[in-house]
Amino acid sequence: MFNRFKSSSGKDQTELVISTGTYFRIAFLIVATILGLSALKTMAHSLVLIFIAFFLALALNGPVSWLARRFPGKIKGSRSAATTASFIIVVLLLGAFLASLVPPLVKQTESFVKAAPQLVRDISTQNGPLGDVVRHYNLESQLNKAASQLGERIKNSSGQAFTTVKSVGSSVFAMLTILAMTFMMLVEGPRHLAFLQQLVPKRRQAMAARVAGDMYRVVKGYVNGQVTLAAMAAILISPVLFWFHVSYPIALVFVIFICGLIPMIGHTIGASIVTVVALFTSTQAALVTLAWYIIYQQLENFLVQPRIQANSTDMSPLLVFASVVIGVSFSGLLGGLVAIPVAGCIRVAVLEYLRAKDMIDDNPEIKKEVTEALS
């Protein structure tokens, strides 16, 4: 590629010669990169579903293995039977949640939509501050016009309803796809892991098994910690709902638990839903519920969650908090959900690399001396 020659002045010079084959290889790499990025963009939604299914399979592997070991008779140790039983339990819980939430939600939404125009008209007759403002500035005609327009929009909302139904159908299909892939990953997981282990050179199999085990423990610890936090939130927030006799408190407890599984920002979503439902009971109930939720959220985000996740994933509270912030900035809700286990797995890989290069020492005495020096 490099040719040396002497110029007419007698000085040595180097000439770079690029062959035709090199041009073709560079062009091929550029085209392949563009096509690969385009394919990734096209498959982004499918890859997200596969990633979620993989994450769920890792999280459910522990309960499935525990259940398989405790089956009696011929089915003892059967992952297919254990996975089927686990999915039946999950589907029953999900069905109970939907049965307790969807019918009253649809009924209340329908009632609110029908009553919305009249509620707008009634503002001018109220004795509160809002009614006083309407009467003081003679806004009755504008209010009646807005109520009429609202009624017309509700009557002509069939197109929006179709779009909503289509969106719900897509979400249901995505959920079923995730459940199906998770089921197959749980059943076939050990066989695929055994095949992958055969691809690793024998001298590195012990190291690979150790890294994989540490990463699995990180994910398992994260799931256990997040479930603990979600259950704690549901238990501590639910008394407010029962105290003010908020409608459908059992369904709202499920909502609090599901939203609590999302780190850092899950309670913001849950607080919005619960507060809106409490508003149908009374303004006082909504305000107290929102205030209680906010207080609990702040205590959990800054005191409880970092410590629980730090203990369950063997990461410092600062690393837990920073990983969630980075994950949300990269990929929104999904990024925040998987940020902690991904950061934990990266930490495991980095530590193993540093150990292999003899760049760190796991001696507990050295760790103790460093901690005392920094304290």
170 & 301 share domain: no
Which residue segment(s) compose the domain that 182 sits in?
43-199
Instruction: Band the pLDDT of 374: cuts 50, 70, 90.
Output: very low
Among 165, 199, 233, which residue terminates a domain?
A: 199
Position 337 in a domain: yes
Name the average pLDDT for the chain. Answer: 75
Position 148 in a domain: yes
272 & 371 share domain: yes
Q: What is the mean pLDDT of residues 16-22?
A: 69
220 & 361 share domain: yes
Among 199, 224, 242, which residue terminates a domain?
A: 199
For 17, 20, 232, the CA distances from 5, given in Å and listed in that order, are 13, 22, 78
296 & 354 share domain: yes
**What is the pLDDT at residue 294?**
85
Position 20 in a domain: no
141 & 280 share domain: no
Position 68 in a domain: yes
Among 154, 179, 199, which residue terminates a domain?
A: 199
147 & 280 share domain: no
94 & 124 share domain: yes
Position 23 in a domain: no
pLDDT digits (tens, 9 = 90+) for 165-201: 566 667 778 878 888 888 888 888 888 888 888 888 8
Position 369 in a domain: yes
Q: What is the mean pLDDT of residues 371-375?
A: 46
Q: What is the mean pLDDT of residues 40-65?
A: 81
Position 249 in a domain: yes
- Asked if residue 358 has pLDDT above 50, the reply is yes
- Which residues make Cβ contacts (< 8 Å) with residue 203, sequence separation at least 6? none
85 & 181 share domain: yes
HEC letters along the chain: CEEEEECCCCCEEEEECCCHHHHHHHHHHHHHHHHHHHHHHHCHHHHHHHHHHHHHHHHHHHHHHHHHHCCCHHHCCCHHHHHHHHHHHHHHHHHHHHHHHHHHHHHHHHHHHHHHHHHHHHHHHCCCHHHHHHHHCCCHHHHHHHHHHHHHHHHCCHHHHHHHHHHHHHHHHHHHHHHHHHHHHHHHHHHHHHHHHHHCCHHHHHHHHHHHHHHHHHHHHHHHHHHHHHHHHHHHHHHHHHHCCCCCHHHHHHHHHHHHCCCCCHHHHHHHHHHHHHHCCCHHHHHHHHHHHHHHHHHHHHHHHHHHHHHHHCCCHHHHHHHHHHHHHHHHHHHHHHHHHHHHHHHHHHHHHHHHCCCCCCCHHHHHHHHHHHC
Residue where the block lists tokens 């009614």: 131
186 & 240 share domain: no
**What is the pLDDT at residue 93?**
77
Q: What is the mean pLDDT of residues 83-101?
A: 78
- Among 299, 256, 258, 296, smallest CA distance to 274 is for 256
26-30, 65-69, 108-112, 330-334: least confidently modelled range: 108-112
Instruction: Band the pLDDT of 160: cuts 50, 70, 90.
Output: low
334 & 210 share domain: yes
Position 19 in a domain: no
87 & 120 share domain: yes
| CA 100/CA 307 separation, integer angstroms | 34
313 & 175 share domain: no
pLDDT digits (tens, 9 = 90+) for 241-278: 888 888 778 778 888 888 887 776 777 888 888 888 88
Tally of domains in the chain: 2
pLDDT digits (tens, 9 = 90+) for 272-314: 888 888 887 778 888 888 888 888 888 877 777 777 766 767 7
- Asked if residue 55 has pLDDT above 50, the reply is yes
Instruction: Band the pLDDT of 53: cuts 50, 70, 90.
Output: confident
